[in-house]
Amino acid sequence: MATTAQLLIVDPQNDFCDITGAALPVTGAKADLQRLAALVDQAAGAIADIVVTLDSHPVYAIERPAFWQQDGAAGADAVAQPVAPFTQIKAQDVRAGRFSPRDPALRDQVLAYLDALEAGPKKYILMVWPAHCVVGTWGHNIHDELAAALGRWEASRLRTVEKVLKGLNPMTEQYSAVRAEVPVAGDPRTQTHRALVDRIVDFPGLTFIAGEASSHCVAATAEDLFAEMSPERLARVVLIEDAMSPVGGFEAGAKAFIERARGLGVRSMTAAQALGALSA
């Protein structure tokens, strides 16, 4: 087997798996990661480098229900109501008083953030997600079958899997492991992760990308990396299509991501085809 392959696995965590107890289950994720675990085991000798990104959050953060409230019914006895997961919040909603941070001292900072987010190149709108991938919890852990395969790879190859945490700053969203959606001045965790970019872009062989979810964190991470790559380097990137799945309702976004990647010269394969390529 050749030894010039790299594997980038985005957010292969329990909370994204369609298993009991997951906070934000992605249909198909468990099977995706089982296929990926088998690939790591079967092609261990051909994989020279593995990088795993981990969505890493507190419970209280700008994209979490605990951060927000919405106006109650009008009147002297009005009580602010909680904000349900999967609610989108725009700057205009905050200015109109429909939603507000539970800490009123953060209103100006939140408005500046939302304005920057909506004006950014990706034109994101803030989504309130269920609390997920909280650091130190079961949901933050790598799915057990993949975690075991990664451990076997480390022991057999005498190398370590590089684990990259993303999303630690509570005042910005971070789908991409490369940088936060709106970098926070003074917090290098939210700025461009130059070591990660260089590790991937400068790798001399094939880079295989997989993980969860294809509609969000895989797409955001991959596209930030693609922007740093030459055409020759893009031709050495492979998406493992049956080792990633979209968040429900966002299937079109995942499909559009794969189409954009192919337009750049990135290839896509199944896990079985990837094994064949790695075994050649």
Can you tell me the mean pLDDT for 21-34? Answer: 98
Compute the distance between CA of residue 141 and CA of residue 14 in angstroms, rounded to an integer: 6
Domain limits at 145? 5-59+131-279
Residues with Cβ within 8 Å of residue 45, at least 6 apart in sequence: 1, 3, 156, 157
Quickly state the pLDDT bin for 186 (edges 50, 70, 90). very high
Residue 107's CB is within 10 A of a number of other CB atoms, namely 13
Please give the average per-residue pLDDT across 58-82, as a whole number.
Answer: 82
Please give the pLDDT value at position 75.
Answer: 47
Query: Do residues 146 and 105 share a domain?
Result: no
Of the three residues 109, 128, 147, the one that is the final residue of a domain is 128
The tokens for 93 are: 């909603």
112, 135: one domain: no
Work out how many domains the chain is built from and give that number: 2
Q: 112, 128, 144: which is the final residue of a domain?
A: 128
Task: Give the long-range contacts of residues 16-20, CB within 8 A, separation 24 or more.
Answer: 16/55, 16/132, 16/133, 16/212, 16/213, 17/143, 17/212, 19/143
pLDDT of residue 145: 98
Question: What is the pLDDT at residue 78?
Answer: 58
CA angle 189, 173, 97 (to 5 degrees): 135
- Side chain identity at 30, as an amino acid letter? K
> Tell me, what DSSP letter sits at residue 182?
S
Same structural domain for residues 169 and 35? Answer: yes
Using DSSP bridges, classify how beta strands 126-128 and 267-269 pair: parallel, antiparallel or unpaired. Answer: unpaired
Per-chain mean pLDDT for the chain? 95
Cα 202–182–93 angle (5° rounding)? 150
Find the DSSP H helices in 130-229. 144-157, 194-201, 217-226
Where on the phi/psi map is residue 18: left (φ > 0), alpha (ψ -120 to 50), or beta?
beta
C-beta separation of 137 from 65 below 8 A: no
Task: Report the alpha-carbon distance of residue 264 to residue 79 in Å, rounded.
Answer: 51
pLDDT above 70 (res 3): no
Query: Can you spell out the DSSP letters for 48-116?
Result: EEEEEEEE-B-SSSTTSGGGEEE--SSSTT---EE--TTEEE-HHHHHTTSEEESSGGGHHHHHHHHHH
Question: pLDDT (tens digit, 9 = 90+) per residue, 254-269?
Answer: 999 999 999 999 999 9
On whether both 232 and 267 belong to a single domain, the answer is yes
Segment 110-118 shows an average pLDDT of 97
User: From CA 148, how far away is CA 17, in angstroms rounded?
Assistant: 16
Q: CB of 54 within 8 A of CB of 166? A: yes
- Residues 161 and 82 placed together within one structural domain of the fold: no
Which band of pLDDT confidence, cut at 50, 70 and 90, is reported for residue 39? very high
In terms of domains, do 123 and 244 share one? Answer: no
| Global pTM exceeds 0.85 | yes
In this structure, of 5-19, 45-59, 62-76, 245-259, the range with the lowest mean pLDDT score is: 62-76
Q: Domain with 162 in it: what CATH number?
A: 3.40.50.850
> Which three-class secondary structure state does DSSP give residue 245?
strand
74 pLDDT above the threshold of 70: no
pLDDT of residue 226: 98
Return d(Cα 183, Cα 172) in angstroms, integer: 7
Same domain, yes or no, for 51 and 177? yes
Asked if 176 and 40 sit in the same domain, the reply is yes
Same domain? For 42 and 107 the reply is no
217 and 270 belong to one structural domain = yes
Inform me whether the pLDDT recorded for 1 exceeds 50: no
* Same structural domain, 118 and 150: no
Instruction: Give 120-168 pLDDT, tens digit per residue.
Output: 888 899 999 999 999 999 999 999 999 999 999 999 999 999 999 999 9
Q: How far apart are CA 17 and CA 167, in angstroms?
A: 19
| Phi-psi region at 69: left, alpha or beta (left = phi > 0; alpha = psi -120 to 50) | beta
Please determine, for residue 72, whether its predicted confidence score (pLDDT) is greater than 90: no
User: 103 and 17: one domain?
Assistant: no
76 pLDDT higher than 60 = no
Q: How confident is the model at residue 79 (pLDDT cuts 50, 70, 90)?
A: confident
Residue ending a domain, choose from 93, 113, 128: 128
